A and B are shown apart, each in its own frame.
Chain A
Amino acid sequence: MKKISFLFILLVFMASSCKIDYINDPFVPQQGPPAPFMPQVIYAMAEGPMFDGRFIGRYTQNWHLTTANDFYDRHGSRRTAAQTGLTASQVWRNHYWSIGSNLNQIEIQAKARNFAQYVGIAKAIRAWSWQLATDQFGEMPFYQAWDNTLTAFVYDPQKDIYAGINKLCDEAIQELTANTGLVDPQIRTVETIYNGDNAKWIKFAFAVKARIANHISNKRSYNPAQVIEFVDKALASNADNALVRFSGANSDQSSFMGPTRANFGAFRQSKYFADLVNGTILGATDPRAPLLLNPTTTTQAFVGVEPVRGITPTGFTTTTMPTIYGKYIFTDRAPFPLITYSEMQFIKAEAAFRQGNRDMAFNAFRAGIRAHMEEVGVSATNITTYLASAAVPQSAAALTLKDIMTQKYIAMWGWNYHETWTDLRRYNYSGDVFAGFVLPNPLAPENNNRTVQRLLPTTFSEEDWNRPEFAKVGGMDVDYHVKPIWFATSEE
């Protein structure tokens, strides 16, 4: 045996840390002109409300699933329905990401190129997006939003968010009115809502101001004169309606509400809505019924599903009660409205009524019905017949708040369930304000007989990664969805 030799090497562990640097790869540009960001923003403006409408539409009784005992019918939340992820929270994701982050880029890139118009439009869209989102979720990270140096985000009160929306609208109006800077020739093709028409975007910004000024109707600070002032500067005819358009050429370019995307196959219109237009509640058949709904194949009647009970008690089946596809906005090509002239007139009617100005209220009320009927294609004769029917009051003296809110419900049905939900929450889901409206029975057990006030933000975003802050506003409570939402309360 020869000598044995050993060598020892002892290595103590080492580790390193690195700071991240942006990759400057010429083939992967990190910056670009504002135009290519715009189409995604506009699509997301429709996508959020369309996605979440499947759930909000059940709270507002626009439609229901054909199966019984649905948790959303019963004013439950995603949590009580044991669902996770993005369910009923697409608006949250779109607000911060698809819309918000792209608007940030649009503003930065537009300022660098002196395209002031983009900045004004971006502010108007951001104001609208905050309004949609906070009315759906209540408290949200506002002051710290889009600060990606942070890892936790404090929730701000809705009152602050509302003030911020007003400020954004004012800045948008100021920017678009001043109309300085250069015009990007591409804006007409990429900005497909108003094709870069500043005057219409100014009206859009006033419409958002009118909405939030009217949402606080339960507060002492509610100012109907101001609401009316905003409405008068907002959308002035159906030609001003803010629409997101779809070519329907293929699945990618088809509306989420249409048959190709196939998201409403398990839904049917509610009995409540069917009864509003088939004469059961208002005493006269509505000429919009065949334009908005499909009649049953067997009886040619307009019927619908009651909340919680599903299709079985109606006596129809999923075959004999047709889906809502093919009518109104439920086609591949139909544009999705974001705000309409008709909605503005109903807001004006409500504000004027609360102010005591019956004549103004009556005129706006009739203008609201007429505008919606023209929008959906009712003939002039049928409009006149309906306006003279028992379904609507015939004089300013006979007008009630119930008439206004019920007709608004009909005109908002199918697309503006966000605003309908806001109205229902302001008026405590009352059948005295919405003719024939009945709350479902029973509500979800976690509700303790309280109605739903808000949806939960995305699980991935807030429950997983922002939990301590979310918990501070009660987000982790099993009944967070019934926590009162500021705009609907009397609290200033």
Chain B
Amino acid sequence: MESRNQIVQPRLSYATGYILQLINSGVVRNRGVEILLTGSPVKNDKLTWDVIGNFTLNRNKVTQMPADLPEFYLSDTWLAGNARAGYVLGESMMSITGYDYQRNANGEVIVGANGFPLVNTAFPFIGNRQPKFTFGLTNRFQMGPLAVSFLFDFRIGGDVYNATERDLVALGLSKRTLDRGTQIVFEGVTQTGERNTVPITLDQAWYTSGLRGLVESQFIEKNINAARLRDLTISYTLPKSLIEKTKIIKNLAVNLTGNNLLLFTNYSGPDPDVNGLNASARGSGAMGFDYFSLPQTVAFALGVRAGF
């Protein structure tokens, strides 16, 4: 399915008379599938077990740039360092563009004569925030008056820009700076194609320079997976014999809900499912931009339901 004339807000030339402009432009091709499965593996007088599974997969691709611009980015997402939600022709709408080390055709880093890698400041594609797929699984058990249900969310793949880590490195608070002061020879090739042999020191200048140790592509965490216990609810319906004596209340149930109780992830920050901005940001927004973003909160709720 093709989406034409997306609402986008580029800055455009000031010759428009304005700084920002809303236009309808660009073509994005979306291909995806969403599958909902429900089932009841066990269903008898004592126990009912319901299962609901929800699988989502989406692949999208920018097939025509807005206004045929050579480069397009959502300026609001340029919130930490030189990485932003950029659209690149032929890549996902959830791309990240930013500074990267210069690379040759084989993908090897190109190192200058001084031993430091050269930096590509033309905002190349450095990551895709779109997960490969997501899967939600709800299980519900009913045993007489007691019901237990819980939802697990799984996310497989997709990159996260850990700008928090980048700031911590600059401040010397990250574990990445433990090797500070050591000498290394950067893995890469010189501009003439020979192996680099010039040693450099990972000193303060390295860890505080946006063109050295803070190059944004080094803070893109690739293929982030997560399993999250999104919510767990236990409810208990009190026996009618107990309630009927009151003559007022016909039935009474208590329930306890906990949100985000467990999170298993290979992401180094607190939570990979964050948004550096809020929902009002346009386009693909700043999902997957972690810049001191708060993780999803753990919450408990206790409820009483009464019928009269």
Within 8 A of B (CB), among A11-38: 11-20
Q: From residue B23, how far is it (CB to closest CB) to chain A in Å?
A: 6
Q: Answer yes or no: B218 CB below 8 A from chain A CBs.
A: no
Task: Let me know if B279 is at the binding interface, CB within 8 A.
Answer: no
B121-151 CB contact bits vs A (8 Å, 1 = yes)? 0000000000000000000000000000000
At the interface, is chain B mostly helix, strand, loop or mixed? strand
User: B42, A7: Cβ atoms under 8 Å?
Assistant: no
Q: How far does the alpha carbon of A267 sit from the alpha carbon of B239 in the complex, in Å?
A: 85
Are A465's CB and B13's CB within 8 A? yes
Report A-chain residues with C-beta under 8 Å of the C-beta of B34: 10-11, 13
A8:B24 contact, CB within 8 angstroms: no
Q: Which of B1-48 contact A (CB under 8 A)?
A: 1-7, 10-19, 21-25, 28, 30-44
Contact of B23 among A5, A13, A151 (CB under 8 A): A151
The answer to whether B17 and A104 have CB atoms under 8 Å apart is: yes
Stretch from B65-73, B155-163, B297-305 forming part of the interface with A: B65-73
Of all chain B residues, the one with the shortest Cβ separation from A102 is B17
| Contact, CB under 8 Å: A148 / B16 | yes
In angstroms, how far is the closest chain A Cβ from the Cβ of B56?
9
Residue A4 lies at the interface, judged by CB distance under 8 Å to chain B: yes
Interface residues in B265-281 by Cβ distance below 8 A to A read none
A464 touches B14 (CB 8 A): no
User: Cβ of A4: which chain B residues have Cβ within 8 Å of it?
Assistant: 39-41
Instruction: Please judge, given known A-B contacts A11-B34, A13-B1, A153-B15, whether A148 and B39 are in contact too, CB under 8 Å.
Output: no
CB contacts under 8 Å to B, within A112-169, are 140-141, 144-148, 150-153
Determine the residue in chain A with the shortest Cβ distance to B69: A465
Q: Give A84-99 interface residues, CB cut-off 8 Å to B.
A: 92-93, 95-97
The residue on B at minimum CB distance from A17 is: B5
**Chain B interface, number of residues (Cβ within 8 angstroms):** 45
Residue A220 lies at the interface, judged by CB distance under 8 Å to chain B: no
Which chain B residue lies CB-closest to A470? B13
The answer, yes or no, to whether B104 is at the interface (CB within 8 Å) is: no
How many chain A residues touch B (Cβ–Cβ < 8 Å)?
A: 48
Task: Tell me the nearest residue of chain B to A154, going by C-beta.
Answer: B15
CA A11 to CA B57, docked complex, whole Å: 11
Chain A residues near B23: list those with CB within 8 A: 151
- When the two chains form the complex, which single residue of B19, B33, B41, B67 contacts A151, counting CB atoms closer than 8 Å? B67
- Cβ–Cβ contact B14 & A92, under 8 A: yes
Q: Say if the beta carbon of B174 comes within 8 Å of chain A.
A: no
Given contacts A9-B35, A14-B1, contact A153 B30 (CB under 8 A): no
Within the complex, what minimum Cβ distance (angstroms) separates B15 from chain A? Answer: 4
14 A-B pairs besides A100-B17, A152-B67 with CB distance below 8 A are A11-B36, A12-B32, A15-B1, A17-B24, A19-B5, A93-B19, A101-B17, A151-B67, A153-B13, A458-B14, A460-B19, A466-B12, A466-B13, A467-B71
Interchain Cβ contacts under 8 Å between A and B, 25 examples: A4-B40, A7-B36, A7-B37, A8-B35, A8-B37, A10-B34, A12-B32, A15-B2, A17-B24, A20-B24, A93-B14, A95-B14, A96-B15, A96-B16, A97-B14, A101-B18, A150-B15, A151-B21, A152-B13, A152-B68, A461-B11, A461-B12, A461-B13, A462-B13, A465-B10
